[in-house]
Amino acid sequence: MIIQLQQGLPDNLKENILQQVKAIGYKANEVKTQEGDYLVAIGKKDFDIRTIGQLPGVADIHRVSDEYKLISRKWRVSPTQIDLGDGVVVGEGQFSIMAGPCSIESERQIELVVEHLKANDVRMMRGGVFKPRSSPYAFRGMGLEGLKMFHQLCHQNGIKIITEVMQVSQIADMVDFVDVFQVGARNSQNFNLLDALGEAQKPVLLKRGISGTLEELLQAAEYIFSNGNEKIMLCERGIRSYENAYRNVLDLNAVPVLKAKTHLPVIVDPSHGIGLRDYVEDMSLAAVMAGADGVIYETHQKPEEAFSDGQQTVNFQESERLIRRMRQAYALRQNF
């Protein structure tokens, strides 16, 4: 059950609600986010919801049978939009394109990508500075100095930054230079990181775990929300299977299913999803038609020379065509 409290509720009224919740045998969890104050009450006993609903200070009350509560569409029926500022909005009624290299490599590289994005009216650039790599000897990113450079060049050009955070201790250093924190597949259930990103308040793009179920993804999002941050996007990036003809299996089933289960925006990553650059366009177009709120993909001026994930990275010419065709597909979807 979710109890939405009135704004600025005096302590005595809140205390009274907490006591009543306890009296019916429920455990109340207090949640304070950018948008509101809530009590998430967990319990199984049957009771008349009006006994709580009519208490002074209660703005709204809902039963939510899902294991996750605040991110459930059973509670918040209309889809969430996330405003990144300067006219960049993610979620319902928008189709967001986020593009950039797997890894930030140099000042020149950022300049070239920014130029490419601007020429195509793309407002969000991706790029990792802390890279999770299977081999400890592979390029692991430019770190904080790379992020500062990335931030400066993007912000001069009105482009928002999305970049991966790998551990709690990085958040404080990164927070002023990031518009969206990415949680990678390997950290999708790093609950300490999710708690801390709830407190950090900046928008988060949460990727599905390498072998993660949708329930696990949704519960991971609930960690962020219940720690105070409503600004969450979910990302389908493919799951591991026995098939080895491609890197992962991009699970586009997840798009309509997630959109029915949660009010959060759903973004698709076809680059990691299939792992082969020749098919990124096909899977992106399929993602648009499946109902995705956006696509995040890898592009680089010379994919064959990229420090990481070159095999799944499209060049600028391919990227330009991809952007154009995704927009055409989105226009078609809206007019269906």
Q: Which residues make up the interface to Mn ion (CB under 5 A)?
A: 102, 309
Instruction: Give every CB contact of residue 319 below 8 A, 6+ residues apart in sequence.
Output: 99, 116, 120, 297, 299
User: By CB under 6 A, how many residues form the interface with ligand PEP?
Assistant: 9
Cβ 281 to Mn ion, closest distance in Å? 17
Residue 91 or 184: the one with the smaller Cβ distance to ligand PEP is 184
Token pair belonging to 163: 């970049």
- Considering CB distances under 5 to 8 angstroms, the limit depending on partner class, which of Mn ion, ligand PEP, none binds residue 184? ligand PEP
- Considering CB distances under 5 to 8 angstroms, the limit depending on partner class, which of Mn ion, ligand PEP, none binds residue 116? none
Residue 48 phi/psi, 5° resolution?
-80, 115
Of residues 4-63, which lie at the interface with ligand PEP (CB under 6 A)?
Answer: none
Cβ 325 to Mn ion, closest distance in Å? 22
Among 132, 228, 291, 310, binds ligand PEP (CB under 6 A): 132
Instruction: Give every CB contact of residue 3 below 8 A, 6+ residues apart in sequence.
Output: 17, 21, 28, 38, 39, 40, 41, 52, 58, 60, 61
Q: How far is CA 148 from the centre of its chain?
A: 22
Element containing residue 317 per DSSP (H, E): helix 316-334
Among 91, 100, 128, 209, binds ligand PEP (CB under 6 A): 128
Distance CA 231, CA 144 (A): 23
- Considering CB distances under 5 to 8 angstroms, the limit depending on partner class, which of Mn ion, ligand PEP, none binds residue 261? none
Cβ 237 to Mn ion, closest distance in Å? 9
Cβ 183 to ligand PEP, closest distance in Å? 8
What secondary structure letter does DSSP report for 90? E
Rg (CA), the chain: 21
Q: Does 209 bind ligand PEP (CB under 6 A)?
A: no
Give the residue closest to ligand PEP by C-beta: 184
Q: Does 141 bind ligand PEP (CB under 6 A)?
A: no
- From first CA to last CA, the distance across the chain in angstroms is 36
Among 69, 123, 207, 300, binds ligand PEP (CB under 6 A): 207
- Considering CB distances under 5 to 8 angstroms, the limit depending on partner class, which of Mn ion, ligand PEP, none binds residue 132? ligand PEP
Residue count (the chain): 336
Nearest to 104 by CA among 79, 69, 128, 140: 128
User: Contact positions toward ligand PEP, by CB under 6 A?
Assistant: 102, 128, 132, 184-186, 207, 237, 272
